[in-house]
Chains A and B, each alone.
Chain A
């Protein structure tokens, strides 16, 4: 009886959250935060990929902003300068970014050392340089504006209200797809790799190939997010895709939990809100806070903040139930 009650409780919570999120963009509710929540949704898409990457390959990407930026710029350039259909541009961007990630990832993951961090850091720097230097295409350090809206038929996503649902639809799809993967044969293989690479190899898992696949997946997620970002703000500039942008993404993933899927929302939300608040009050101090978060979370909760929170809550619930059965 208790177990069914617990199951019902979970459905109730999910339904409540769903209702809550659908109501957010309405002016009479939390409408003034719609822009922020859209950005949280976009960040979540990138963060999920990063969480999976760090959780299952044991390596860090310090250049996710490169993939994010590539998606944004390719979408922007193709749709504005060349009049390509924005959806097609988004697809092209995702494919290009994925190919990019494959080319970088394959040699990097074959090696025994931990080269991904520096390789991606370098990649992030190169892309940032390109975004700034290829001003003929990218608009240089000031970036480019006037990026068209996304639209389906006659329906144009020209208000934050409409874009909110579009972005979170994408985000939800990505979260569900990621969850499906984690629970599948591929997910088992990834968890096996996380558990013991030697044992995973011994049962026929091509460890390198899986790591590369996850890396490519994370790049595609980031690219899609970047494209949505471009069509949301309608303006892209290199500052959004520099080294600190990549670091912030790592902070989101660390808070959300390595190898966690839904925790990414928590990580993205906390970091975005934190970063806005901090920047408002203290200027450049946000970097110091990020550094501290990374250090402290990794030392005391290496699985990530969200995962640790879930554990703590589960323990409380257990204690609560035990007390119930005792009386």
Chain B
């Protein structure tokens, strides 16, 4: 009963293993899992949107529910012009949702349990938000935004801007990694029925974290497009 040893092994398994090498770039299991999810998502998206009709039938209901939710969110935050940000926010939500739910496929470790994936998401999103801010208000308006309520708050605004990628990525990563670790440890101790409620909680948290990521993107875009 080498529980301590196996516990050790579980917690040291934090680093993803390298599967093969593309030239000189190591490709880890995380990247392969992401490719598998992409291979599932892209044909699904193509097949579901082939015959759209005005009166929705079948799976189109589901798509319209998600799209309408984000349309309403963007419109209530930003007004009519918010609709053009729907591709960014919707893609983030659906992609992160599928990545988090890939737990259900036996044998797959969700790619969001790896810090690389979540940092990539967060950095790309924040850079895009800056570019949207510059495009909407011009360079001068973008810089003035940092001095907005009070010029003395400039360092605080700058630090807040730099902390946003950190907090976005760590929130998603820590949620998924915590769930995976707790379930792994529970499987070591009592494999019979006890891990099931924790796994259900993990799936719910995955959904909520995807929602929160996209919601926060909407909030950040609003704060840049409309000022403090």
Asked if A and B bind, the verdict is no
Which A residues are closer than 8 A to B by beta carbons?
A: none
Which B residues are closer than 8 A to A by beta carbons?
A: none
